[in-house]
Amino acid sequence: MTTLFTSDHEWLRIEGDVATIGVTDYAQSQLGDVVFVELPKVGRALKKAEAAAVVESVKAASDVYAPISGEVIEVNEALAAEPALVNSDAGGKAWFFKLKIADKSELGGLMDEAAYKAHTA
């Protein structure tokens, strides 16, 4: 399992040809208390950098972008029911959706953990 990061503060866990996507702890700390999450529909084809989900906090609403192209194969229904999971477990239980990866070459432009930490420093 490999974890990669985007400059827009999404994380991806790569397992085979599936990527699980969520927002980073840094992103949730900037958002504040999350009150609503809108998830993409299963079966939706996403292009890299396309807005895929919405996260709303008491401060602002932000899009969650598809870090790579693929088809949504699963969404985290627990997150829709309990948006505050984003604040309590951004890098774990608060994943947003899973994509079947369309083009693994798109992973090349993403950051590893060390590069992401430097990006947010």
Show the domains of the chain with their CATH numbers. Answer: 2-103 (2.40.50.100)
For 24-70, the pLDDT digits (tens) are 999 999 999 999 999 999 999 999 999 999 999 998 899 999 999 99
Residue 80 host element (H or E): helix 77-81
**Mean pLDDT of the residues in the chain:** 96
pLDDT at 11: 97
pLDDT at 1: 84
Neighbour-count burial of 60, counting CB atoms closer than 10 A to its CB (0-12 exposed, 13-18 middle, 19+ buried): exposed
